[in-house]
Chains A and B, each alone.
Chain A
Amino acid sequence: MRSLAARLVLSPTALITLVCFYGCAVWTAYISLTRSSFFPNYEFSGIAQYTRLFSTERWNVAYANMFIFGVLLVAGALALGIILALMIDRNVRGEGFFRTIMLYPLAMSFIVTGLAWQWVLSPSIGVQHFVRDLGFPDFTFDWVARQDRAIYTLVFAGVWHQAGLIMAIMLAGLRGVDRDIWKATRIEGIPVWRVYLGIVLPMLRPLVVTCVVLLSVAVVKSYDLVVAMTGGGPGFASDLPGKFVVEFSFERANIGQASAAAVVMLGSIFAALAPYFYIEMRRKAT
């Protein structure tokens, strides 16, 4: 009887999950294999949508951008976050202050982050304008307005936004390291940097993997940052797949293309998560 009650209570959640998440995912995957354009069309057409998708230049730019943005964001946020965590771990004074300051960006939505950075980087009102007013009239910093550089400005903003989270996770890990290990290394006379590189960071490897997964997911689903900061521009030079999907389904009203793009994104997420699951499974097995 108890299990019946439990099942009843849980059934709405299960139903919603089943229909809204898995159902819609399956429906989207199916639509991506049909001839749908403005309206759903259930006529099967194989991988035609995908061939068309990958011959659309805008998609190719967006998809390639995801990898540039992704690799740089993951590497940048991880490096900066770990360095910040190590600095706080060494110098305990003012820890609470720094930790809070560094976590603030995370409390802000990507929209606010994007707008703020747009202003900072905008040639006419931001850094470039400021430095020119200081008396360097030839100073140029217009990455946000350049086709080949705009994507990197997204990386700046993204790293600024995510580094605090990585710092917090890594700091928690560093604090969890047995104090006796530090004592043992002091008695052996091992320099602090060797302890971090040789002993402590390898101990935190599962945490690093977690950080990479979190960052990868943030990369794949990033939409608001682009919208607020560059609007995907100039042209579609800083477009990302998330923005591509939203625009094709709601503005361009091409549901077939949007579905195909969404499925490629889902595949990318699985690809990003696979190593994590692999490592977790292997750890459980041993």
Chain B
Amino acid sequence: MSVNVQGLRKSYGALDVLKDINLDVREGEFTVLLGPSGCGKSTLLSAIAGLDPINAGRIDIAGIDVTDRDPAARGIAMVFQSYALYPTMTVRGNMTFGLRVKRLPKPEIEKRLTWAADMLQITDLLDRKPGQLSGGQRQRVAIGRALVQQARVFLFDEPLSNLDAKLRAEMRVEIKRLHRELAPTVVYVTHDQIEAMTLASRIAVMRGGRIEQYATPDELYERPATLFVAGFVGAPAMNFLPVILRGGVAELGALRIPLDAYRFTSPPADGTPAVLGVRPEHVTIGGPGVAVATETLFMEPMGADTLGWFQLGAQRLSARLAPQLARGIDGAQTVALDIANASIFDQATELRL
């Protein structure tokens, strides 16, 4: 079932938290709302769930206007960061309480419980209390409680933020598997870009109550629409070089970088101040692109790669290098900037050029 948000506004007093949000989540799609804290992503999720009243706009779920409907009448299920399990009930009680309140027939409840517990491999935990479970197990139960409601739209509010790195990776795979097997529509809030990149079919990057870009992870990574998206997505972060654009050349101090390989979406006027963004993997030694002379600063071994730092004029430049290659590097070094895969943003509007 699709989720469609149009012209959504939300403010707390004088503070506008969401400014004219439009979001279209297609059936079966896994949409991640990504952004730093305070960008409004959780507020947007609450608005979709119907937990917070909105000031303007319209929300459709499965083509039906649900703007004024109770959360329970929207056909959604939700998983919270704090798990929000009912502490005095067993896992079984947690997962079935809502169904029992709705007076579903016992065999039906049992069937759903067995199915969900099996799906999440928590069958042997059913008689424990949440206090006796680990964080990862609790989150499985919380997901199980959402599953038994058999909603077609799942909302996740930073579900993995309370878990340690190892469990987080494990649960990420689990959520991905569930999405593949059940193909529900998902809206998932996180500030962790790895979660966003690995899980999403499309990511909406938010900042200051607006959606900066809504695109597939590849598109987002390769062709960021704004300077903010370029800086927020990708680790290690993209290199930003402040340049002046003049006649197809980027001027960086005395350095001239020809931009013949770059495909402009809108050709800029001469003398436009701009930011040239190059990802560390597109700064190479002996690779394709424009060769520039630099001074080696230091190397940061990260296991699979080594992050090399070079001084280019007044700027620092990071490069993702193969460890064997990085070991021999020192002193003056010529590196290549792969302009075909770079991004250029207007410094004033911060939009992609």
Contacts and interface: CB of A to CB of B under 8 A. Distances in A.
Interface of A: 178, 180-181, 183-191, 194, 198-199, 202-203, 205
A93 B87 CA distance: 29
Contact of A183 (B78, B87, B89, B145): B78
Nearest to B148: A188
Contacts of B82: 178, 180
Interface stretch (B16-24, B94-102, B167-175, B282-290): B94-102
A153 to B, nearest CB: 38
Contacts of B269: none
A186 B73 CA distance: 10
Contacts of B101: 188-191, 194, 198
A186 B83 CA distance: 15
A188 B72 contact: yes
B84 A183 contact: yes
Using C-beta atoms within 8 Å of the partner chain, give the interface range for chain B: 20 to 34
Contacts of A191: 101
B88 interface: yes
Contacts of B73: 189
B301 interface: no
A181 B85 CA distance: 7
A189 B80 contact: no
A191 B101 CA distance: 8
Given A187-B51, A189-B98, A189-B102, 17 more contacts: A180-B82, A181-B84, A181-B86, A183-B71, A183-B78, A186-B71, A186-B72, A187-B71, A187-B72, A188-B72, A188-B145, A189-B70, A189-B71, A190-B98, A190-B101, A198-B89, A203-B86
Q: Which one of A186, A187, A202, A205 has the highest number of Cβ atoms from chain B below 10 Å of its Cβ?
A: A187
B155 to A, nearest CB: 8
B87 A203 contact: yes
Contacts of A184: 78, 80, 84, 145
B77 interface: yes
Interface of B: 46, 49, 51, 70-73, 76-78, 80-84, 86-89, 97-98, 101-102, 145, 149
Given A184-B78, A187-B78, A190-B97, A205 B88 contact: yes
24 contacts: A178-B84, A180-B82, A181-B86, A183-B49, A183-B51, A183-B80, A183-B84, A186-B70, A187-B49, A187-B77, A187-B78, A188-B101, A188-B149, A189-B72, A189-B73, A189-B101, A190-B97, A191-B101, A198-B86, A198-B89, A199-B89, A203-B86, A203-B88, A205-B88
A181 B97 CA distance: 13
A177 to B, nearest CB: 10
A142 B72 CA distance: 53
Contacts of B98: 185, 188-190
A194 to B, nearest CB: 6
Nearest to B74: A187
A203 B97 CA distance: 15
Nearest to A185: B98
Given A186-B71, A187-B71, A189-B72, A180 B88 contact: no
A186 B51 CA distance: 8
Contacts of A190: 97-98, 101
Interface centre among B49, B73, B78 (most CB of A within 10 A): B78
A183 B72 CA distance: 10
Contacts of A189: 70-73, 98, 101-102
A191 B86 CA distance: 15
Nearest to A188: B98
Nearest to B86: A199
A194 B99 CA distance: 13
Contacts of A199: 86, 88-89, 97
A222 B84 CA distance: 42
B162 to A, nearest CB: 11
Contacts of B97: 188, 190, 198-199
Nearest to A180: B84
Contacts of B70: 186, 189
Nearest to A194: B101
